[in-house]
Amino acid sequence: MTLFKLPDLGEGLVEAEIVEWFCKEGDTITADSLMVALETAKAIVDIPSPQTGKVVKLFGQVGDIIHTGDPLLEFASSETSTQEKTISDKETASSVVGVLSTEHEAVKESASAVSQHSHSGIKATPAVRALASRMDIDLSIVTPSGPQGTIKTSDVQRVAKILANVGALQPLKGPRRAMAKAMEQAHSEVVSVTINDDADISTWPQHSDVSCRLIRALLIACTAEPGLNAWYDSHSIGRRLIKAVHLGLALDTKDGLFVPVIKDVQDYKAAALREKINDLKIQVQQRKIPAEALRGNTITLSNFGAIGGKYANPIIMPPTVAILGAGRSFESVKVNAGHIEAATFLPLSLSFDHRSITGAEAGRFLQSLINDLQQAQ
């Protein structure tokens, strides 16, 4: 048996539609006789038979789309010519303009943000570019004063002088550099929406552990709306719902932001949880946290209330799809059955990735979270 697979009929074509078969199963056809007509993105092309032989199977009807590299027709084995044997060998024969892989699985390319140092659209002569390069000036920050927006030598010198006055560029290093890259990636990839609301925590006993209560509420909300405890794959456009909750906990240090992960946070009792959080804090402060403890979170909590601020638009780190921010609790009034009462509120900010989560799902998630937070115990 010899399979004839659809070759690339143009330059980098990935599929073709069957327009007409000129043979049917059982026919014996001769080499170079008209076999099938296919329509590609470029043209309708007649495909001759690659060999003489009996057709035993056609892999498609008129109107079907065949991917490049997929079987189109099968010949019964006959007197095997050299030509026949090599059909597949030469399948990847490349043209002078290059060859495209015949796999039709999508080629995976990582998205990258448009470089901030891209010089496209900048008008400057080679001499000015060379000067900027020597003086380490990014031309994208130089305001041009030349005709039609060209950057002149004097523009580069002006910016160099200003920069000399403000001092040398301080490169971001370590966690701060990691944060810069991670935030840039998150900003370019994620379609983020933030919902804000307050939980009435007036009934909480004094000295309640806010972090532990938030984590408990998160777990309940994750059960109510599992879509928020998930990883999203933007290449394949798909998501993985994750049963266990691995909680990323945003912690501030003088070196920058750390997000250590509490694996299987649902298995912790309140006391053990507090101990774990304290441990993580110490590890992070001392920079002794192992790298694997900073990976694999399925959802994130940023409890910045102790530092300050009420609401935020927390940034979601791919592949996770949700992050909860909690601000500083505040005293305010609430209206209860027509009466004004004093109450304590915990301000909440839930960011979710709208590519995989609907607004209603996020709303229900937040509501079930609030319902739990409003329990006294």
Q: Of 3, 5, 19, 363, which one interacts with another protein (CB under 8 A)?
A: 5
CA 322 and chain centroid, separation: 13
d(CA 232, CA 298): 10
Please state the closest distance from residue 34 (CB atom) to another protein, in A. Answer: 10
Nearer to another protein, 62 or 99 (CB): 99
Amino acid at 147: P
The footprint of another protein on this chain (CB under 8 A) covers a number of residues equal to: 32
d(CA 290, CA 217): 28
Q: Of 20, 25, 32, 184, which one interacts with another protein (CB under 8 A)?
A: 32
Which residue in the block uniquely carries the two structure tokens 């580069």? Answer: 156
Helix spans in the chain (H): 82-85, 126-135, 153-166, 174-189, 210-224, 270-285, 359-373
The burial of 12, by beta-carbon neighbours within 10 Å (0-12 exposed, 13-18 middle, 19 or more buried), is given as: middle
Judging by DSSP bridges, how do beta strands 322-326 and 299-303 pair with one another? parallel
Q: Of 20, 25, 28, 46, which one interacts with another protein (CB under 8 A)?
A: 46
Please state the closest distance from residue 96 (CB atom) to another protein, in A. Answer: 6
Please state the closest distance from residue 49 (CB atom) to another protein, in A. Answer: 8
> Coil, helix or strand for 139?
helix
Q: Of 10, 71, 144, 363, which one interacts with another protein (CB under 8 A)?
A: 10
- Six token digits for residue 175: 């966690």
d(CA 305, CA 346): 9
Please state the closest distance from residue 215 (CB atom) to another protein, in A. Answer: 48
CA 19 and chain centroid, separation: 39
Binding part of the chain for another protein, among 8-16, 108-116, 130-138, 197-205 by CB under 8 A, reads: 8-16
Binding part of the chain for another protein, among 9-17, 187-195, 252-260, 364-372 by CB under 8 A, reads: 9-17
End-to-end CA distance of the chain: 73
Please state the closest distance from residue 25 (CB atom) to another protein, in A. Answer: 19
Please state the closest distance from residue 53 (CB atom) to another protein, in A. Answer: 13
DSSP state of 95: B
Q: Of 1, 61, 89, 114, which one interacts with another protein (CB under 8 A)?
A: 89
Residues 55-84 that bind another protein (CB under 8 A): 81-83
Q: Of 64, 77, 90, 223, which one interacts with another protein (CB under 8 A)?
A: 90
Binding string, 95-134, against another protein, x = CB under 8 A? xxx-x-----------------------------------
- Cα radius of gyration rounded to whole Å, the chain: 31
Beta bridge partners of 37: 20, 46
Q: Of 8, 155, 189, 372, which one interacts with another protein (CB under 8 A)?
A: 8
37 binds another protein (CB under 8 A): no
| Residues making contact with another protein (CB under 8 A) | 4-11, 32, 42-50, 81-83, 86-87, 89-91, 93-97, 99
